[in-house]
Amino acid sequence: MKQYAYYPGCSLESLAKGYDVSSKEVARALGLDLKEIEDWNCCGATAYFPVDELLAYTLVARNLAIAEKTGLTDFVAPCSACFKNAYFTNAYLKQDPDLADHINFALEEDNLHFDGKLKVRHLIEVFIEDVGLEQIKNKTTHPLTGLRVAPNYGCQLIRPRKGKENVETPQFFEDLLSAIGAEPIEYATKTRCCGSSLIITNRRAALDMVRILLQDAIDSGAHVIATTCPMCHVNLEVYQSQVNQEFGTNLSIPVIYFTQLMGIALGLKTKSLGIDRAVLAKTPVLA
Amino acid sequence: MTAELSFSNEIANMMYATHGNPITNCLQCGTCSGTCPAAEFMDHTPRLIIGMIRENLKDEVLASNTYWSCASCYHCTVRCPAGIDIADMMYALKRYSMWKSRYQEGLIGPAFSESFVKMIVNSGRSFEPILAATYLPKFSASQLMQEALTATGLVLKGKMPLLPKKIKRLKNFQRMVKRIIPLGESS
């Protein structure tokens, strides 16, 4: 059973508990062992960089250094914002020995050292690349036949660009949904931003961004929106009523983590996937 | 002897220090503004704000809500034909405006970022209810009511913890932070 250094991130301890439990359950069912790293700290989300970029990198580097200490080779984050911060901090520190030295000086205070030995990955990438679509398909006992799913890529999972990958029309999420028997829908806004922390700092802008995503998914015939990020998930799910109030719309669609859909397809109990924790459950999608 | 830097060069220099090409490479094509999902809520579009920086319109740029309305989604960055990391430029502007303590009155962004950092330095973790205390006073009555209903729903659903978490090696963590941001004392 391959082991991974698992970094849940703050959201997965609170608002996105269902993402955490379903990630672990699905990983186990697929023969992967997500070992949570000890005493991790917040990655800084998107709010650190405005204040101090160096501090932002240091906070992320501490988590990377803790993961390195375990001897495991892969750092896995299910939260897209944590993933993006960890991925780029890892890359920048490896490229810039002066920056790494400076940060290692700070890490000494916690008896840690960043060596740059890790590969930073998002959970969806691990499932697709390490388990493989074929294997996921083989293990699917309850294919989600007829379920029309809008794959919401969001931002930080695919942007900024890491290499030459397709950031405009990625397909890997659709491929995964097809592997579990669901029907991924095509819609124009699958990589559009959910508004992220603007929900706090510029509410109207964020609610409008949420409205556009919900409207597009519904108009494209989706039964449900699947997410890979707790921030997108909260904005799309929890703020539906506020969107309707603000814009006089009547939008309603369930939002579910991709791991929860996978768990259902793999025949895992819905309770163990945290699905009962969903804030909105107006529309019964899977009877 | 060094010449005094123009605002435009100050911001361009910040871009050299980060990633991507400097804003002097901007073609003013407007791909960023056409891509930005928040553009219609900005006083000036991303293209315009870059043009304003290049014209050294420092007061107007700093007074704009544009950079504090950026959600950091990097859609502009990946599409910019001149290879400018525009989202990072928005971060640079946020930092610049916080250093100078000059930003549009009434914006929640600067207070939110500051309290976020304070919260992490105090506990090592982020925790929604503590954050809320910093931005809720800026909300209108109806926004407050909405937020209260949402938060209550989240607590009842077991999604919102009532007590903040702290990391175990908090003392080490705080000494680590002090090596990066000297806070006066023994550091």
Among A126-130, A195-199, A248-252, B30-34, the minimum mean pLDDT is found in A195-199
Is A279's pLDDT higher than 50?
no
A contacts of B181 (beta carbons < 8 Å): 52, 55
Give the pLDDT confidence of A60-105 residue by residue, as tens digits. Answer: 999 999 999 999 999 999 999 999 999 999 999 999 999 999 999 9
Nearest by CB to residue A45, choosing from B75, B126, B146, is B126
| For B145, nearest residue in chain A (alpha carbons) | A242
Which pLDDT belongs to residue A282? Answer: 44
Give ranges for CATH 3.40.50.11810 in chain A. 142-277
Rounded Cα–Cα distance for residues A193 and A106 (Å): 34
The interface residues of chain A toward chain B in range 247-286, judged by CB-CB distance below 8 A, are 277, 279
Please give the single-letter amino acid code of residue A272.
Answer: S
A contacts of B71 (beta carbons < 8 Å): 46, 155, 193, 195-198, 205-206, 209
Which pLDDT belongs to residue B121? Answer: 87
Cβ–Cβ below 8 Å for A53 and B180: no
ipTM above 0.85, yes or no: yes
Cβ–Cβ below 8 Å for A159 and B177: no
Is A281's pLDDT higher than 50?
no
Give ranges for CATH 1.20.1050.140 in chain A. 2-123
Cβ–Cβ below 8 Å for A52 and B153: no
- Please give the C-alpha separations between residue A166 and each of A159, A171, A246, A248, B84, in angstroms, as whole numbers: 10, 9, 35, 36, 18
Which pLDDT belongs to residue B72? Answer: 94
Cβ–Cβ below 8 Å for B181 and A55: yes
φ/ψ of residue A183, rounded to 5? -110, 100
The interface residues of chain A toward chain B in range 196-255, judged by CB-CB distance below 8 A, are 196-198, 200-206, 208-209, 212, 238-239, 242, 245
Rounded Cα–Cα distance for residues B107 and A203 (Å): 11
Rounded Cα–Cα distance for residues A40 and A6 (Å): 10
Tell me yes or no: is domain B9-99 CATH 1.10.1060.10: yes
pTM: 0.91
Q: What is the CA radius of gyration of chain B?
A: 19
- Please give the C-alpha separations between residue A156 and each of A44, A45, A194, in angstroms, as whole numbers: 14, 11, 11
Name, in order, each residue with C-beta under 8 angstroms of B85's C-beta and a sequence gap of 6 or more. Answer: A160, B15, B18, B19, B20, B21, B77
CB pairs under 8 A between A and B: 186
Which pLDDT belongs to residue B135? Answer: 58
Provide the 8-state DSSP code for B20: B
> Is residue A99 less than 8 Å (CB to CB) from chain B?
no
pLDDT tens, N- to C-terminus, chain B (187 residues): 567 889 998 888 777 766 788 898 999 999 999 999 999 999 999 999 999 999 999 999 999 999 999 999 999 999 999 999 999 999 999 989 988 999 999 999 998 888 888 888 889 998 765 555 555 556 666 666 666 666 656 655 555 555 668 999 999 999 999 999 866 554 3
Where does the pLDDT of residue A171 fall: very low under 50, low under 70, confident under 90, or very high at 90 and above? very high
Tell me yes or no: is domain A2-123 CATH 1.20.1050.140: yes
The residue whose two tokens read 């804003």 is B23
Which tokens is B180 given? 């990066």
A contacts of B175 (beta carbons < 8 Å): 109-110
Domain ranges of chain B: 9-99, 109-180
The fold adopted by the segment(s) A142-277 is Rossmann fold (3.40.50)
B contacts of A204 (beta carbons < 8 Å): 41
Of the residues B117, B127, B134, B155, the best mutation for testing chain A's interface (the one with the most A CB atoms within 10 Å of its CB) is: B117
